[in-house]
Amino acid sequence: MTTTISSQVLIVVGIAFGVACVPLPTTPLVVPSPPTITVLARGIASSAAIVADDQRVFVGETKLGARPGHSVSGVLSVPSRGGQSQLRAETQRPGLITGLAVASDGTLFVSWRAAPDLAMSVIAAYDAGNETILVRATAAPPDAVSLRSPAGIAIAKSGDLLVADIVGLQVLRITSAGRVERVAGTGSCPPGPLSTPVPGAALATALCGPELLASDDQGNIYVARRGARWIAKIDPGGALSLLTATNDVSGLATDALGALLVSDAARGEIVRFQGGHSSVVVTGIDRPTSLAVGPDGAIFVLADRTGELLRIVLL
């Protein structure tokens, strides 16, 4: 919603017995209304992933252990319009939660990265309190089509699960039959500083550190490295292109209108990409680190420095 301020220019015309004011219509001055921001939860420990359905926001909370490799993670369930948060006990597991996705039937998918033993990393599904391990990481050769270290996850238009493999340097698809297929990446990265992907065939393009993932209803897939200045778009035909770089990518999400929303940690902004154009829609967030969009268009973001989970409604 926007606020329109009527504006007219008055032309003063001198006549014999006084002054006449003749209004000249001009273009209305349009001032965007500020978004509505609500704090849903405070004091959230380190989190690399959030996702939302029509009632809840799921937050992957990691409590760091006293020694490396002793972190424990679990999923917080937060009412999307405010209320008491609850820890889903069945989701507690050693390691770091690196990705969350939720299906239309309420099934929650969680990816874990275990350290220092990456072979303990898994992707699991949770339904009615039950855990099902979908795939386990392996120490396969770099060019193999297998999961090595799961990061961000998303649900494709087909219903398959998409996974960004940050060590395997690939984007993978896990089908309903349990097959693991490569969607993008060659399994290798050029030596030297992490490079920007080269537009072209997604399966022939090197992806250095793919970590963040999102998909839309048109079958497009978006992938980025956390902290990078590039976002890769993979269309349904398998072609990879690049979106305009931002400063410090920290989260990706898509809305029901097909727009891509990107959080920028360094600038404290949320940027909207649609139709070849980009615009800043939210500013002033204290280092946003994770991003999600609900079915009603509400934006959910975690402010890292304050540990606050925010609900943002664009008016």
Q: What is the mean pLDDT of the chain?
A: 85
What pLDDT digit, counting tens, does each position of 190-249 carry? 876 668 899 999 999 999 999 999 999 999 999 999 988 899 999 999 999 998 766 799
pLDDT at 87: 92
pLDDT at 205: 94
Tell me what the mean pLDDT of segment 8-34 comes to.
48
Three-state SS string over the chain comes to CEEEECCEEEEEEEECCEEEEEEEECCCEEEECCCEEEEEECCCCCCCCEEECCCEEEEEEEECCCCCCCCEEEEEEEECCCCCCEEEEEEEEECEEEEEEECCCCCEEEEEECCCCHHHCEEEEEECCEEEEEEECCCCCCCCCCCCCEEEEEECCCCCEEEEECCCCEEEEECCCCCEEEEECCCCCCCCCCCCCCCEEHHHCCCCCCCEEEECCCCCEEEECCCCCCEEEECCCCEEEEECCCCCEEEEEECCCCCEEEEECCCCEEEEEECCEEEEEECCCCCEEEEEECCCCCEEEEECCCCEEEEEECC
Tell me what the mean pLDDT of segment 70-89 comes to.
91
What is the reported pTM?
0.86
At 4, the pLDDT band (50, 70, 90 cuts) reads very low
Tell me what the mean pLDDT of segment 63-75 comes to.
71
